[in-house]
Amino acid sequence: MKTAPPLSPTADSQGRILARGLTRRFGAKQALAGVDLDLGPGGVIGLLGPNGSGKSTLLRILTGLTQADAGEVWIDGVRLEADGLAVRQRCSYAPGEIALYGELSGARMLEFLLRGREPAAQARGIELCRRLELPLERRVRGWSHGMKRQLLFAAAMAPGVHVRILDEPTEGLDPKKRGEVLAILNEDAQSGTTILLSSHHLGETERVCERILFLHQGRKISDETRASVLERARRVLRVAFASPPGSAELAALDGVLRARVDGLQASIEMESADPRRTLAALSSAGGLPAPIAIEHGSLSLTDLFREFYGVEAC
């Protein structure tokens, strides 16, 4: 079996997230099965996938919180070794699970989260918390889920690092706060930071992420730019038939790359975004039932992953 050569980051590794062959098993469950990454420098990268697809495990492995069974990681030019301290010094991380020390005030909690960071991080953290209108003087016990989420976000955005890894930073936030968080993310990304974020909000992923990774059953099944994903979305035709069509007949139509049939519904991936050639072929095809509804160019990211991979994005 041919094995991949080891990663050898060069001088341009600053701000990059590199991984090769990341594997992790929890008992009988294969959480990650050979994930490779080459992300950054700079930009917001979205990590999508259904529950249990391995997103959080991947993010924890990248920060050294969970050890991979196999594979290697380089973050910002530093190799992940031992307990991952060197990597955690080069990146910040916001966990997906919200559990804070309720007895501490917001300010003390922020101080706890920023232990080990440069002194200026504390001031930046307080500034971000003020922007997010968090009551730092109050005990965290009385805070809402969304406020706690924002505190974790602020603590991850405060350190002066080139890489940030955020596990569902907008989960549980109202639309206004979500907008504020995304604005902070955008500002940070414009300064050249690489941000890898997992999210269940596909709309916001479409809005802020320049690149989208899709994880399913521990495998990376898609890694595309937003432009490419949207271009693919425009090449999908959804057709409803009066009776179930044959997928082989659909796939054989002129201008069709592949077709997926689910009952009376069919998703057809075309060679180009212009549907006319395929529509003409569809109308003249002899062995297919008559189409009763045709949809084109209106696929959301959720629909897209369902159509392409047959899995729910979240």
Site string for another protein, 59-98 (x = CB under 8 A): -x--x-xxx---------------x-x--xx---x-x-x-
| CA-closest candidate to residue 55, choices 16, 95, 82, 28 | 95
Q: Is there a contact between 288 and 247 (Cβ–Cβ < 8 Å)?
A: no
Q: Is there a contact between 17 and 62 (Cβ–Cβ < 8 Å)?
A: yes
Q: Which is nearer to another protein, 44 or 61 (CB)?
A: 61
Beta partners for 281?
Answer: none
Cβ of residue 64: shortest distance to another protein, in angstroms?
9
Among 6, 112, 244, 283, binds another protein (CB under 8 A): 112
Among 134, 152, 154, 182, binds another protein (CB under 8 A): 152
Among 35, 37, 100, 163, binds another protein (CB under 8 A): 100
Question: How many Cα neighbours within 13 Å face the side chain of 226?
Answer: 16
Cβ of residue 101: shortest distance to another protein, in angstroms?
6
Cβ of residue 165: shortest distance to another protein, in angstroms?
10
Cβ of residue 208: shortest distance to another protein, in angstroms?
23
Among 17, 75, 113, 157, binds another protein (CB under 8 A): 113
Hey, CA dihedral for 90, 96, 101, 106, is it positive or negative? positive
Which single residue is written with the structure tokens 């082989």?
A: 248
Q: Which is nearer to another protein, 134 or 152 (CB)?
A: 152
DSSP-assigned states of every residue in 29-72: EEEEEEEEEEE-SSEEEEEE--TTSSHHHHHHHHTTSS--SEEE
Find the helix packing angle between 226-234 and 301-309, rounded to 10°: 70
Q: Is there a contact between 129 and 202 (Cβ–Cβ < 8 Å)?
A: no
Give me the helices (H) in the chain, please.
Answer: 55-62, 85-90, 106-113, 119-131, 145-157, 175-190, 202-208, 226-234, 247-251, 276-284, 301-309
Q: Is there a contact between 170 and 199 (Cβ–Cβ < 8 Å)?
A: yes
Considering only residues 32 to 61 of the shown chain, the ones binding another protein according to CB under 8 A are: 60
Cβ of residue 36: shortest distance to another protein, in angstroms?
22
Among 16, 55, 117, 149, binds another protein (CB under 8 A): 117
Q: Which is nearer to another protein, 97 or 137 (CB)?
A: 97
State yes or no: residue 101 binds another protein (CB under 8 A): yes
Q: Which is nearer to another protein, 63 or 222 (CB)?
A: 63
Cβ of residue 89: shortest distance to another protein, in angstroms?
4
State yes or no: residue 124 binds another protein (CB under 8 A): no
Among 8, 28, 115, 119, binds another protein (CB under 8 A): 115
User: What is the Cα–Cα distance from 227 to 36, expressed in whole angstroms?
Assistant: 21
Among 116, 142, 192, 287, binds another protein (CB under 8 A): 116
Q: Which is nearer to another protein, 1 or 99 (CB)?
A: 99
Taking phi over 0 as left and psi of -120 to 50 as alpha, with beta for the rest, 217 belongs to left
**What is the contact surface with another protein in residues (CB under 8 A)?**
60, 63, 65-67, 83, 85, 88-89, 93, 95, 97, 99-101, 112-117, 152
